A = this chain, B = another copy of it.
């Protein structure tokens, strides 16, 4: 297929007419599909149903340290849950604190604690005139929402195929005291699906921050969320890399079983240095009497260890692959060679990130919506919801069925073509 940009005006107009007829037909189908959020499908949730039968009134109600899992107490998680979450994050249990059901809450809390109480004795951020976070883009809208809601200034950093542009990151972090953090999704990044190279992780660990309370907010949300048995991305363990670099306190790592067991009823954890954990516990002890230890033990009994987690994730992958492939097949078949969009074939995670021609993303998403397919809002993958190029669109293939995904993808490419033609005609 010839690139659209090389077509004549007449060719484009003729093409547009055909595509508009197709679009009209698609609108008539009454589609109602939601590809907006990274929400597991029902069959994925069913995979963990047996977990509901694994801890009954007949079972022992004590953790390995003898604590009654039903009563108050244990701030940082039962030992076996720390072990499981440590294995998930490729670190050791002494680095881990286990929380409640959502890593997003831990992240919000971690930033809001820094605002109100400060980190390791540094000035609380709410007392400062200016606090900035670096945001590799495109990135995760809920990260940006946390920093935006707390009045933290966000700075876009280009996200390359091997991670954030480290020249830019070093420039800001090593010189500007107001830069207090960077949001990272280091593995199967949300939304581009890329994983950080060893070089990027090492440069990250070797930052020389101007601010003592600069931290890397390392959201390892997709640590074990591979799509292929034989194509697994692996990243370096940021905790030990920071230790080696003499920056042991510089990272907060987050993970959860939200997309492993149940999205609303999983177990979330943080990994960080002992000094940070001690600092954190001073506030935790005021904030809570402890998290749900029954659910922690339920998870440990169901997954046992890393092998159990990995085996379970392969069952997820079997359900996810056909959905990803449905989208990618349609993209390749329909848009290959047209030069009106680019995308990456991810090895894991929850998203396919699509870059349209500059200035087309909003119109494409709107056009999809008018035909019954809801995508993540264009711009959502950028701080303040503002994609400077109006180009990036996040596709979340997990919730619909593979058949629905194919239908949705077909509508999507139709909208991409139509909007791109309009854009090209405009420029003629």
Number of residues from A at the complex interface, CB < 8 A = 55
| A112 CB contacts on chain B under 8 angstroms | 112, 116
A70-B265, A265-B70 as given contacts; A146 in contact with B286, CB under 8 Å: yes
A319 lies within 8 A of chain B by Cβ? no
CB of B289 within 8 A of CB of A264, answer yes
| A149 CB contacts on chain B under 8 angstroms | 117, 283, 286
| A40 CB contacts on chain B under 8 angstroms | 71
Shortest beta-carbon distance from A149 to chain B in Å: 5
CB of B291 within 8 A of CB of A108, answer no
Question: In the bound complex, what is the Cα–Cα distance between A52 and B48 (angstroms)?
Answer: 16
**Partner-contacting stretch, out of A55-63, A79-87, A158-166, A236-244:** A55-63
Chain B proximity mask over A249-292: 1 for CB below 8 Å, otherwise 0: 00000000010001111000000000000000001001111111
| A262 CB contacts on chain B under 8 angstroms | 70-71, 294
CB of B70 within 8 A of CB of A39, answer no
Chain B proximity mask over A59-75: 1 for CB below 8 Å, otherwise 0: 10100000011111110
| A287 CB contacts on chain B under 8 angstroms | 104-105, 108-109, 146
CB of A68 within 8 A of CB of B49, answer no
Question: In the bound complex, what is the Cα–Cα distance between A105 and B70 (angstroms)?
Answer: 18
A45 lies within 8 A of chain B by Cβ? yes
CB of A265 within 8 A of CB of B286, answer no
| A56 CB contacts on chain B under 8 angstroms | 52-53
Contact of A115 among B49, B116, B146, B289 (CB under 8 A): B116
Shortest beta-carbon distance from A151 to chain B in Å: 9
CB of A116 within 8 A of CB of B105, answer no
A378 lies within 8 A of chain B by Cβ? no
A101 lies within 8 A of chain B by Cβ? yes
Contact of A289 among B71, B104, B109 (CB under 8 A): B104
| A74 CB contacts on chain B under 8 angstroms | 264
| A291 CB contacts on chain B under 8 angstroms | 100-101, 264
CB of B69 within 8 A of CB of A295, answer no
CB of B53 within 8 A of CB of A286, answer no
Shortest beta-carbon distance from A35 to chain B in Å: 14
Shortest beta-carbon distance from A244 to chain B in Å: 34
Chain B proximity mask over A80-97: 1 for CB below 8 Å, otherwise 0: 000000000000000000
A55-B52, A57-B53, A287-B104 as given contacts; A71 in contact with B292, CB under 8 Å: no
Question: In the bound complex, what is the Cα–Cα distance between A100 and B72 (angstroms)?
Answer: 14
List 29 A-B pairs, Cβ < 8 Å: A37-B72, A42-B68, A45-B61, A49-B57, A52-B55, A52-B57, A52-B59, A52-B294, A69-B265, A70-B262, A70-B265, A71-B263, A71-B264, A74-B264, A104-B287, A105-B288, A108-B287, A112-B116, A115-B116, A115-B126, A117-B149, A145-B286, A262-B294, A264-B290, A264-B291, A264-B292, A265-B292, A265-B294, A292-B295
Give 7 A-B pairs besides A39-B72, A49-B61, A52-B56 with Cβ atoms closer than 8 angstroms: A45-B61, A45-B71, A69-B264, A71-B263, A72-B263, A100-B100, A102-B289
Interchain residue pairs A-B with the least CB separation, the first 6: A49-B57, A265-B294, A70-B262, A126-B126, A72-B263, A45-B70
